[in-house]
Amino acid sequence: MILIIVLAILSFDQLTKFIITRNLALNQSIPVIKGIFHLTLVRNRGAAFGILKNQIPFLIFTAIFAIILLYLAIRKNKHKKIYSIALSMILAGAIGNLIDRVFFGYVIDFLDLRIWPVFNLADSAITIGAILLGWSTCFQKSAQ
């Protein structure tokens, strides 16, 4: 089940990035719900919120290190379902953004809520996984 989660998120992330880059010009924005949700193609050369801009080698190294730790944590805790699912979501997101950094030197972002920096599906998986991880940690016995 873990492999399916990782492959599904990773595939969907990469497919959406491919579709967006083929159909939008850089910084082009298309309203889906005007003023609330747009598709806007941007290139993030940093980490979350654009911090560590142009530190690509450091971000690649950090992502690889995090991916290794996530994989080991999943293997160690595979009997904890929700915990493992959360780690798998974070792992898939980390791999999705690492692929962008390695091949392009930046992360492709396109989901634009207008009140938040533009993000992508990998970022969403990381965020949802982190929330789920926190929940499973707080309620560990009931989350297994």
Q: Which residues are catalytically annotated?
A: 109, 123
Could you give the CA distance from residue 95 to residue 103 in angstroms, rounded to a whole number?
A: 12
How many residues make up the chain in this entry?
A: 144
Encode pLDDT of 34-57 as tens digits: 999 999 999 999 887 777 887 889
Encode pLDDT of 83-118 as tens digits: 999 999 999 999 999 999 999 999 999 999 999 999
Domain of residue 103, residue span: 2-143
| Overall domain count for the chain | 1
Helices (H) and strands (E) in the chain, counts: 5, 3
CA 71 vs CA 39, 47, 54, 92, 142: distances in Å: 32, 21, 27, 10, 23
Encode pLDDT of 1-29 as tens digits: 889 999 999 999 999 999 999 999 999 99
Contact 134, 87 (CB under 8 A): no
